Amino acid sequence: MANKHHSSNRELLQVGDNAPFQFTESYKSLRTNLEFMSATSECKSIMITSSVPNEGKSNVAINLGITMAAAGKKVILVDADLRKGTLSRYLHMHRSKSHAGITSLLTGSAEWKDALIPLPQPNLVLLPAGPIPPNPAEMLASPKMKSLMDMLGKYADCIIVDTPPVTVVTDAAVLSRFVDGVLMVVRPGVTTIQGAQLSKKNLEAVNARLLGVVINGYNTKKSSRKDGYYYSYSYEYYDTGRRKSSSDK
Ligand SMILES: Nc1ncnc2c1ncn2[C@@H]1O[C@H](COP(=O)(O)OP(=O)(O)O)[C@@H](O)[C@H]1O
Ligand SMILES: [Mg+2]
């Protein structure tokens, strides 16, 4: 890894830019696997989470969104990290802190047309987090959030939801009830085995449907660049099947 710390001006490599072949291909294979899954069970709304910050959740959400949209699907990228939303910044859609987003839709202080931001890529729309609320977990757990997700489902073919880390706050766990499946990101050098296990446990405790694990930043010699920034993404999945409902017990 490069020694430089980019925290003040975080940049992400995006598929379609000057991304290495292997990077773009990894996302295409993730897309293909999700398409296969959707043949047998609904897989329209996908939540991205991980155990701690900096594992690459937002990075994976953006690139999966772009890859899905490139296949002609209408995609909405949802920034449900209401505490530290980063998608607008990563996508260079700079907005003031008070810009409309999920929280403004939930409080009724903005309309859809104010909150949704079309991105330069065809078929791709961003729904930012909006002004930071005092009670993010409660907002995400509310029936209004469910209606919001249902509305998005009417408009889009695919909804990718970025979230905060699942071992730090409950936001992702509560939101998992309103999505079809969850992808967990792990990153060598950042994720610990205990962290990954605890994330899985937290998600299973709320009957989330875990679709699989995305390994971000898998460091191979082949994928390294001169600046030491590694872009290889490998992907594994296991389908835990349908969520258990109380009637299954
Ligand atoms: N594969 C990678 N290699 C190097 N840096 C990465 C990689 N993935 C993400 N990063 C960097 O790590 C930081 C955190 O990524 P981000 O997607 O915001 O993580 P999270 O959403 O999990 O907090 C960002 O500065 C991002 O550029
Ligand atoms: Mg993030």
Which ligand approaches the C-alpha of residue 54 most closely? 1
CA dist., res. 146 & res. 178, Å (int): 6
Q: Work out whether the CA dihedral 197, 203, 206, 207 comes out positive or negative.
A: negative
Check which CATH number belongs to the domain holding 130 and give it.
3.40.50.300
Q: What is the largest CA-CA distance in the chain?
A: 55
Task: Name the more confident of 90 and 248.
Answer: 90
The pLDDT tens digits of the residues spanning 65-121 come to 999 999 999 999 999 999 999 999 999 987 666 689 999 999 999 999 999 999 999
Pairing status of strand 75-79 against strand 181-186: unpaired
The residue segments making up the domain with residue 147 are 20-239
pTM score of the predicted model: 0.87
The pLDDT tens digits of the residues spanning 171-201 come to 999 999 999 999 999 999 999 999 999 999 9
Task: Identify whether 247 is part of a domain.
Answer: no
Task: Identify whether 10 is part of a domain.
Answer: no
Task: Identify whether 9 is part of a domain.
Answer: no
Give 51 Cα–ligand 2 centroid separation in angstroms: 11
**Mutation test of ligand 1: which of 5, 12, 48 has the most ligand atoms closer than 8 Å to its C-beta?**
12
Task: Identify whether 184 is part of a domain.
Answer: yes
Judged against a pLDDT cut of 60, whether residue 58 lies above it is answered with yes
Count: domains in the chain: 1
Task: Identify whether 8 is part of a domain.
Answer: no
The pLDDT tens digits of the residues spanning 159-171 come to 999 999 999 999 9
The pLDDT tens digits of the residues spanning 219-244 come to 665 444 444 444 444 444 444 444 44
Encoded tokens for 11: 């940049």
Task: Identify whether 11 is part of a domain.
Answer: no
Give the ligand 1 atom nearest the CA of 61. 17
